[in-house]
Amino acid sequence: MHRERSKLSNFLHENARALGSMGYFILLMLVFLIGAPEAWMRPNLHQSVFVMIPTLIFLVIPLVFLVASGEIDLSFASTYALAAYVFALMVKGGIDPALAILAGVISGGIVGALVGALIVVFRLSSLVASLGVLFLLRGLILVLTNSRSITMMEELEGHWVYSLLVGNFYGIPMQVFWALLFVIFCYYLFSKHKFGIHIHHVGDNYVSAEQMGINVKAVKIKAFMFVGIGAAIAGIFTTLITYTFFPTQGFGYLLLALAAVFVGGTPYWGGIGTIVGAVFGVGVIAYMEVGVVAVGMSGTWRQFFNGLIILLALLGHRLHGD
């Protein structure tokens, strides 16, 4: 009996952050279910959320790696758009969409690596430097596109890439399955793989990590690169869903993705993170976007509640300690 209690105690302690995020999610669902039971039972409401969740997952999960390493990146919102622009430009130019997707993902990885190198090599503040890159890339995209969108319905409609990535499987958007595979892969990478272990060590104490023989600079640059790749995937998926590239796309996800990271159990001071918690964090933010309106409140309340949840989550992190 004592051993079973000890195991349960260890489980609760090790997964406290993920369980806390799950608690936020369950509480939110109960509040919305009680507040608007009829609206909450409509499949269309949940289907609209499931279209949004995969995009947030591709953005949020890589950010967990980066924040756990002790850094932050704001440029992902523009990398999102840049990769989508590369994809749209190539598709419009007659290149096979599969190759265009590969090129878009590679461009996201390159941007991430460059941002990481800029911060790690020149020892700039990741917050300020990535903010600069955010506006630099966005300005470049607006100039190159002359603020005009690119429509690709003719090129994408009926193509196997569209059906495979963002089609429907018995009413479930295909991107949900791809996001699930991404979560499983990232969970293994973060919890079991050498890269994830190095991320934890670097974020906890980079001096100690260097003494252990870990290449701290390389680990951080790889984390920035992973954020760029995740942003690129998210941008391309969104472009596929709508058949259209918009020069302003991705900007609206900047604060939502960061909110999901912190609500999901990854504190800003590094060394700690949770992939499972991040998924629940994404669920909280995604359902908040539609739930506030569903219960009859004005959509302007969404930002208030998002801010409240972030503050409560950060207070919970600090009180929990580690």
Task: Please give the full DSSP string across 236-301, using - where no structure is assigned.
Answer: HHHHHHHTEE-TTTTTTHHHHHHHHHHHTT--TTSS---HHHHHHHHHHHHHHHHHHHHTT--TTH
Q: pLDDT tens digit string along 128-182?
A: 999 999 999 999 999 999 999 999 999 998 889 999 999 888 878 899 999 999 9
Q: Cα(266)–Cα(252) distance, rounded to whole angstroms?
A: 21
Mean of the per-residue pLDDT values for the chain? Answer: 88
With a pLDDT cut of 90, the percent of the chain lying above it is 61
* Residue 12 confidence class, pLDDT cut points 50, 70, 90: low
pLDDT of residue 36: 78
User: 188: which residues sit within 8 A by CB, 6+ positions away?
Assistant: none
Cβ atoms 295, 36 nearer than 8 A: yes
How much is the pTM?
Answer: 0.92
How confident is the model over 292-321, as a mean pLDDT? 72
168 beta partners = 173
Q: Cα(77)–Cα(133) distance, rounded to whole angstroms?
A: 10
* Residue 299 confidence class, pLDDT cut points 50, 70, 90: low
How confident is the model over 93-109, as a mean pLDDT? 96
- Residue 66, pLDDT > 80, answer yes
- Residue 305, pLDDT > 90, answer no
Nearest C-alpha neighbor of 142 from the set 245, 291, 288, 270: 245
Token output for 80: 């999102």
pLDDT of residue 44: 79
Q: Cα(135)–Cα(248) distance, rounded to whole angstroms?
A: 11
Residue labelled with tokens 């051993």: 3
pLDDT of residue 115: 97
- Residue 2, pLDDT > 60, answer no
Cβ atoms 150, 248 nearer than 8 A: no
User: 23: which residues sit within 8 A by CB, 6+ positions away?
Assistant: none
How confident is the model over 80-88, as a mean pLDDT? 97
Which amino acid appears at position 153 of this protein?
M
b/e map 120-145, b = 16+ CB within 10 Å: beeeeebeebbeebbeebbeebeeeb
For 321, which DSSP code?
Answer: -
Q: Cα(101)–Cα(104) distance, rounded to whole angstroms?
A: 5
Cβ atoms 321, 13 nearer than 8 A: no
Count other C-beta atoms under 10 Å from residue 1's C-beta.
5
How confident is the model over 53-73, as a mean pLDDT? 96
Residue labelled with tokens 């996001």: 179
- Residue 320, pLDDT > 80, answer no
Q: Cα(120)–Cα(281) distance, rounded to whole angstroms?
A: 28
With a pLDDT cut of 70, the percent of the chain lying above it is 93
User: 163: which residues sit within 8 A by CB, 6+ positions away?
Assistant: 174
Token output for 223: 């984390």
For residue 94, give the 3-state DSSP assignment: coil
Q: pLDDT tens digit string along 185-195?
A: 999 999 999 99
- Residue 220, pLDDT > 70, answer yes
Q: Cα(240)–Cα(157) distance, rounded to whole angstroms?
A: 9
Instruction: Provide the phi-psi class of 267: left if phi over 0, else alpha when psi is between -120 and 50, else beta.
Output: beta
Q: Cα(200)–Cα(88) distance, rounded to whole angstroms?
A: 37
Q: Are strands 150-151 and 168-169 parallel, antiparallel or unpaired?
A: unpaired
pLDDT of residue 141: 96
The length of the chain, given as a count of residues:
322
- Residue 4, pLDDT > 60, answer no
